Amino acid sequence: MTSLTAIAQSNTVLKQAPSAKKIFLAGVGAVGSTFLKQVSNQQSLRVLGVCNSKGVLWLDHSQTDFSINDLHRAPQKEWKTIVRKLASYEKGSVIFVDASGNRDVAELYPELLSTGIHVVSPSKLANTQSQQKFDELHSTARRNNVKFLYETNVGAGLPVISTLKNLIDSGDKIIEISGVVSGTMTYLFSQLDKGKSFSDTIIRARSLGYSEPDPRDDLSGEDVARKFLILARTCGFRLEREEIEVESLIPAPLVNVDSSTFLNRLHEFDNEWKERLLHEKKKGNTLRYSGSMKDGEIRVGIQSVPVSSPVGNLTGTNNLIEIRTRRYLDQPLIIQGPGAGKEVTAGGVLADVLKIV
């Protein structure tokens, strides 16, 4: 159980620093609890409180020892009360960090922003709603002079969103974005390259926490589609999810079965994938699951690439994003690194928080 002793001690030190930004954290899972550890080293930040799906824990300056386990005995969470309390602080002094991945929490963003509360989130839920809601969300932040930052929506801790914004703000024009933005998919195909079976790799990815509990959430391609939708909208393109072409890796007979049946029957499709990879290797190629965005149009699916190419060389959970602009046309700007993991994702969230500070 993650200890909040360091957070408490940091809060005690910051009792004399009224200019410190105040943090409220929703969600104390892998990313949220790691974020708390990282925050404890930041003297410009003070954690006001945390909540999970059931309870809310407000952190008192006078406390010197408490843990996330206290949430099990904490008062029941009530969002109206939480928002009202956060809004009582000076406008712009509170940062709401959403590491919950919960749709109900994402729907709070407009209210939080309209009351002068900054929002930082690794969750893609808010940014992948309708284009109208996306526009309203970001205009609410601008209108109230607060920040809504979401660097970790794409590429975990990789500086993808900020790079795009910097290019656009400096007068460059985004022409094309392409590459691999799913650590889960990189792991899958790099393991297939090594001769591992399709079923064993997916089960292994699930046990390592690289995939969702139901791997179909990753294999559907929806995660990659949502990331490219966010990239396109960040570049100023107006696009709805229904306009994106997405290739699913879920075997057709297993789309609608229960999770247990899905995992038990995956081996039926091992030979199909083995033959497909062998066919590519004869041509000096391999397969990667990638996306591309050009002229506001997005395609997501399997791509045949040379084994010796940068994308073909991806291993582990690494991502690689190529950005072609008017300035970086012949040689694209490349961003590469881990696209998954609680440490890098939490670090990306903290980086967004520190931008506000």
At residue 61, what is the residue type? H
Catalytic pick among 227, 281, 283, 342:
227
First to last CA, the chain: 29
**Is the C-alpha dihedral spanning 245, 290, 161, 345 positive or negative?**
positive
Distance between CA atoms of residues 328 and 334, nearest Å? 10
Number of helical (H) and strand (E) elements in the chain, helices listed first = 14, 12
Name the token pair of 85. 């309390």
Retrieve residue 107's tokens.
């729907």
Known catalytic residue at 227 = yes
Burial class (CB in 10 A: 0-12, 13-18, 19+), 204: middle
Residues with catalytic function: 227
